[in-house]
Amino acid sequence: MPLYLDDAVPPPMPRAFLDVLLDVYTSFGEEAVNPAMVIALLRDRLLPLLPNVHKSLFDLRGQTSWDSLWILYANLATASGGTDKQLGASAAVVSIFVRHTTRPTREVEFPAHLELASFARMADLLGLPKAHPHVGAEVATPLYEFCRYCWLPQRSRGVCENHSTNTTSRDKKGGPVCAVATHKQVQRLRPVFEKELSRLVSAEEWQFHESEFSLAVMVPPSGLGSWLKERRPALSQQLEAVGRKGEIRLLPALLRVLYGDKGVDVAQAIGGSVHLLTPTTARAEAWLCAWKGRGVGAASDRVQASLRCLAGSRTPLSPTSELSTMHGPLGVLEGAQRSSLTAVPNTVSTVPNSMSKKPEIRRPQAHHPGRIRARGGI
């Protein structure tokens, strides 16, 4: 099918990138478009607009397909870090070619775990193996089939044994550090955890490309303590908190923090390929950061609940009130309501002293049977 550019709404981008989009559209005309044609034209027209350090992103492996072009889009978007306009525009152009060469638009999903996709891309560039180790002898569990709430291998229905609703006992001794959290706690933590994980993975891969692939992003076979301190500070602090950072053999200590008593099985599964722990440590770092900051989120939730109550009661707020300047449910009020809030005078400073006194509460007099009140009432 041809490129249906009329269906696309390109985001704001530099003129040079918009010209690429229009020129390629003109070049294709009514001709059916395939992935090989797209990547050839992108390399010819789009690639010269990028700095040399980013051109390796277009080195697609294997036969070009719509999926591989979607991975190219993901790589460009990740490398942009949300700030590089050239990479961001390149990602938008690739996305339009992938999605709008069919009707209805082609929908391609991202990998289930961004940290695994990022790890695979960087491992390819470094020439490192991308094995998928299995843990355990009797029942082999894929190490990378993560629990949706943490970094442990899932046991069933996407959840590990520590965060399952069926878990009744929580023996923290001999367990991983994430075992301290209950099922309800990790449920509430999940949005923050996933956001932090996405931020960490995107920033790390961006820095990796900026360093021309020289940045030590993989878990190293030596110098692990320094690497953790620089790349995984929360995990490094956790090792120090449990008194294991000073151990001579730091890798077994790290595995005990991550997997508890099952760290021995993980060590056997990965062998000497310690770089295979990179995605796991990324999830652990994000989880620990989210867990550490959970109190801040809870406080924010309480403030938002208070704001909802205030907005629901329609109680006028003083313009000097701190609540009137905060973001929250008050932001959905209509403009007239919002202006009326700001027009409320500071009545506290203008009330006369005589009015500021507490009103006198008159208690009803006891009524005695048979007594007639002075003003003729009964």
The predicted pLDDT at position 300 comes to: 44
Q: What is the pLDDT of residue 284?
A: 97
- Residue 85: pLDDT band (50, 70, 90) is confident
Cis peptide before 104 (omega within 30 of 0): yes
Q: What is the pLDDT at residue 359?
A: 47
Grade residue 246 by pLDDT with cuts at 50, 70 and 90. low
pLDDT value of position 62 = 63
- pLDDT tens track for 263-287: 999 999 998 899 999 999 999 999 9
**Among 37-41, 60-64, 148-152, 193-197, which stretch is predicted with the lowest mean pLDDT?**
60-64
Question: In this predicted structure, what is the pLDDT of residue 315?
Answer: 39
Domain boundaries of the chain, sorted by first residue = 5-110, 116-292, 295-344
pLDDT of residue 61: 62
Mean pLDDT over each residue of the chain, to the nearest integer? 74
Is the dihedral angle over the CA atoms 100, 101, 102, 106 positive or is it negative? negative
Looking at the chain, the whole-number percentage of residues with pLDDT higher than 70 is 67
The alpha carbon dihedral of 315, 321, 323, 326 has a sign of positive
Taking alpha carbons only, the member of 294, 272, 64 closest to residue 186 is 294
Sign, CA dihedral 138-220-228-56, equals: negative
Residue 335 has pLDDT above 90, yes or no: no
Residues 326 and 323: their CA atoms lie apart, in Å, by 5
Q: Which residues contact 361 (CB under 8 A, 6 or more apart)?
A: none
Q: Are 231 and 254 in contact (CB under 8 A)?
A: no
Q: Which residues of 191-227 are buried (b: 16+ CB within 10 A; e: fewer)?
A: ebbbebbeebbbebbbebbeeeeebebbbeeeebbeb
pLDDT by residue (tens digit) across 15-64?
A: 888 888 888 778 777 778 888 888 888 888 888 888 887 777 787 666 77
Task: Read off the tokens for 374.
Answer: 């002075």
* Averaged pLDDT, 349-363: 46
Compute the average pLDDT of residues 337-364.
Answer: 43
pLDDT surpasses 60 at 324: no
Selected residue with higher pLDDT from 367 and 153: 153
pLDDT grade, residue 95 (50/70/90)?
confident
171: which residues sit within 8 A by CB, 6+ positions away? none
Residue 163's Cβ-count burial label (10 Å; 0-12, 13-18, 19+) is: buried
* Mean pLDDT on 106-124: 76
The predicted pLDDT at position 327 comes to: 37
